[in-house]
Chain A
Amino acid sequence: MARTRLLQAIRDAVVEEMERDPKVIVYGEDVELSIVGDLRGVYEKFGPDRIRNTPISETSLTGMAVGLAAAGYRPVVQIELPITIIATAGGGSSNAAQHSDTSYPMIMNLGGLNVAVPATPADAKGLVKTAIRSPNPCFIFEPNGRGGELGDVPDGEHLVPFGKAAVRTDGRDVTVVAIGRMLKPALAAAAALAADGVSAEVLDPRTLVPLDEDAILASVAKTGRLVIVDEARECCSAASQIAAVVAERGFSLLKGPVRRVTTPNVAMPYAPNAEAHVIPGEARIAAAVRELAGAGAPDRDEKVSA
């Protein structure tokens, strides 16, 4: 085990896959100096045939990945088919509407593209490695900035499969599905709620395409209540998709309405206080869980007091 930040775990995954398979190449804007994300040292190690800077030509970079894949390569594009595209998502750094946007719902909607939103360094590494080896195009969404969360990453070969959710904390009363960067405030909310006798089960889907529907339904079967936390905008968010899946496949399991805790349908504001206001945080998550746990479920009292 090594303590690693999420973005460094992604770098380790890319480097290991480049060592394993000479057909893995990386290109993108300023990747040699690694201005976005963290691929520092990769250029020095592999040279310009394996990692190189491109012009700021996003239209062509993605299309080129299709051509490279057809030519037998496994391109990793950093703007970041089989293609791995590492893109940033999410706010928290006052970078405003374009640079702090959470765009994975758009990609989910295209069909045919796998989408991973790792929340932990171990998952980041394991999902990137799986994505590079996959014969299908994959988007990996990493948080903005230079670090990301700090956490343990297993030594040696570490792969995380797509489509397998992880239960981050067990609970009885409410299922909280938290996507990517939302895991941290969701866990904080769950800890605070536990002190008040409300037991939240926090589930991390890890990948949105494919989505581990069975794991979500199994948790809802246990709790009967569902809160989904998604940094994307509410309209057509991943949260909306998960809510729809549970409504269709698990309606009889529900003891109350499904609640989405998302960014409202606004462009991400610049001002730090405004940004903090719209991005879901611990308080909003906890409030949604409390509301559901108290929403007239017949067995609510015994559960909460248990």
Chain B
Amino acid sequence: MTTGLGAKTGQTGQTGQAGETGERPQPSKAEALRLYETMVLIRRVEERLRDDSAAGKLPGAVHLYIGEEAVAAGVCAHLRASDYATSTHRGHGHFLAKGGDVRAMMAEIWAKREGICQGMGGSMHVADLTKGILGANGIVGAGLSIATGAAFGAKLSRSSQHGASQHGASQHGEAGVSVCFFGDGASNQGALMETLNLASLWRLPLIFVCENNGFSEFSPAAQVTSGRIADRARAFAVPAREIDGNDVAEVWRAAGEAVGRAREGGGPSFIEARTYRIQGHFEAESFVLSGGRYREEAEIERWRQAGADPIARFRSWLIESGTATAAELDGIEAAIGERVEDAVRFADEGQPADPALAETLMFAPEPPEPPEPSEEA
């Protein structure tokens, strides 16, 4: 526990290959502040969505990422716009951490014309292909194969650019990688086995990031998931680690190792980041639960404590290690507060979505009409 704060979860550092030895890398001050900023941005956006959902301002369901921010922040810190990431139904954090525009996301969730998908996608489909954000996805586990395809594309681009052999890694330069965020629930989909097999077989530059937040929708993981999730990766000879997903520095280190391996042509990696979902499966879930319960309030409260919360833990470490002062961090928080207010204002003042787009956006514009059966040649 290098951040100096008590870890809640069990094993860390189990790896299918040589583990880390000696000094563990730490983020530089600039990197650390960026991790903090990303986590706080996600938290403030999600809190605002929680409140606006409760106030009836959002037309659809939102699945919030509160408590899990360290995973998206720590992983995406290693990604470039040209890298790919697929997300889940709980996708706002991945969108923001990968560099998505907070105003455009907020407007999307508010179903406005200015939204990133012009109001046609909503919370569960926020995406920005120009930044490698291949989208939130309403189907549990659907991102697995999409990320695998993107990794295949990245690998093909590498070999075509550098003339490397088709199954070997290029020795030249670095290439794009692909990250798949998915949950412990998705780890029970057959697609995980299919994609682990292919990614390992073809040594794809793919990082599987399982966010084990303890719940498969409304079912505790213990009720629906057997064995250890990371063992599924080990069965396919994919290096796997189980880490404390609420320790952003630990996530940052594990992801750095996995992304580095992928860029160098070393193939896929698997990270099981153990975290906890503070909010319900979606907001206002009490309506569907109608009095039913699947966890105790005391359990949620334990994960809300400063010793467990990823942002509070990292803030303490930043200050105690002398990396940053409380005033610096407060400044970051204030600036983010303004960004979020601005995004909400932008969304609130936006135009209603254009219903005609439901039809006109269904298909991409075709290239100019192909000629009728031609006479040429």
| Chain A residues proximal to chain B, CB less than 8 Å | 22, 25, 47-49, 54-55, 57, 59-73, 75, 82, 111-112, 114, 122, 126, 130, 133-136, 154-162
Separation of A159 and B370 alpha carbons in the complex (Å): 6
A67-B84, A67-B148, A112-B363 given; A55·B194 CB < 8 A: yes
Indicate which residue in A55, A68, A112, A159 contacts B149 across the interface (CB closer than 8 Å).
A68
Asked if B182 lies at the interface with its beta carbon under 8 angstroms from chain A, I say no
| Chain B: CB-nearest residue to A77 | B149
CB atoms of B198 and A67 under 8 A apart? no
Separation of A192 and B253 alpha carbons in the complex (Å): 76
Please name 10 further chain A to chain B contacts, defined as beta carbons within 8 Å, in addition to the given A54-B198, A66-B146, sorted by A numbering: A25-B156, A49-B166, A64-B145, A66-B134, A66-B145, A71-B152, A75-B149, A114-B363, A154-B375, A158-B374
Among A66, A111, A155: residue with most chain B CB under 10 A: A66
CB atoms of A73 and B156 under 8 A apart? yes
A49-B156, A71-B153, A134-B366 given; A159·B374 CB < 8 A: yes
B163 nearest CB across to chain A (Å): 10
Q: Which residues of A contact B373 (CB under 8 A)?
A: 122, 126, 154, 158-160
CB atoms of B146 and A70 under 8 A apart? yes
| Chain B: CB-nearest residue to A69 | B149
Q: Which residues of A contact B377 (CB under 8 A)?
A: 155-157
Asked if B327 lies at the interface with its beta carbon under 8 angstroms from chain A, I say no
A55-B198, A112-B363, A161-B372 given; A67·B145 CB < 8 A: yes
Separation of A59 and B189 alpha carbons in the complex (Å): 10
Q: Which residues of B contact A57 (CB under 8 A)?
A: 194-195, 197-198
Q: Which residues of A contact B198 (CB under 8 A)?
A: 54-55, 57, 60, 64
| Chain B residues proximal to chain A, CB less than 8 Å | 84, 86, 129, 134, 142, 144-154, 156-157, 159-160, 166-167, 176, 178, 190-191, 194-195, 197-198, 201, 362-367, 369-377
Separation of A135 and B84 alpha carbons in the complex (Å): 20
Q: Which residues of A contact B86 (CB under 8 A)?
A: 67
A63-B144, A66-B146, A161-B369 given; A22·B374 CB < 8 A: no
Closest CB pairs A-B (n = 6): A156-B377, A67-B149, A71-B153, A63-B145, A64-B149, A159-B370
Q: Which residues of B contact A82 (CB under 8 A)?
A: 364
Q: Which residues of A contact B147 (CB under 8 A)?
A: 67
CB atoms of A130 and B370 under 8 A apart? yes
CB atoms of B166 and A48 under 8 A apart? yes
CB atoms of B370 and A160 under 8 A apart? yes
CB atoms of B194 and A136 under 8 A apart? no
Q: Which residues of B contact A111 (CB under 8 A)?
A: 362
Separation of A156 and B371 alpha carbons in the complex (Å): 13
A55-B194, A157-B376 given; A71·B146 CB < 8 A: no
Indicate which residue in A59, A68, A134, A160 contacts B152 across the interface (CB closer than 8 Å).
A68
| Chain B: CB-nearest residue to A48 | B166
CB atoms of A136 and B166 under 8 A apart? no
A213 nearest CB across to chain B (Å): 15
Separation of A62 and B144 alpha carbons in the complex (Å): 11
Indicate which residue in B84, B149, B166, B375 contacts A63 across the interface (CB closer than 8 Å).
B149
Indicate which residue in A48, A135, A155, A159 contacts B371 across the interface (CB closer than 8 Å).
A159
CB atoms of A67 and B191 under 8 A apart? no
CB atoms of B153 and A72 under 8 A apart? yes
A54-B198, A156-B374 given; A136·B363 CB < 8 A: yes
Q: Which residues of A contact B150 (CB under 8 A)?
A: 67-68, 70-71
Q: Which residues of B contact A68 (CB under 8 A)?
A: 149-150, 152-153
Separation of A75 and B363 alpha carbons in the complex (Å): 17
Q: Which residues of A contact B190 (CB under 8 A)?
A: 59
Separation of A22 and B148 alpha carbons in the complex (Å): 20
A22-B160, A48-B167 given; A63·B152 CB < 8 A: no
Q: Which residues of A contact B149 (CB under 8 A)?
A: 63-71, 75
B168 nearest CB across to chain A (Å): 12
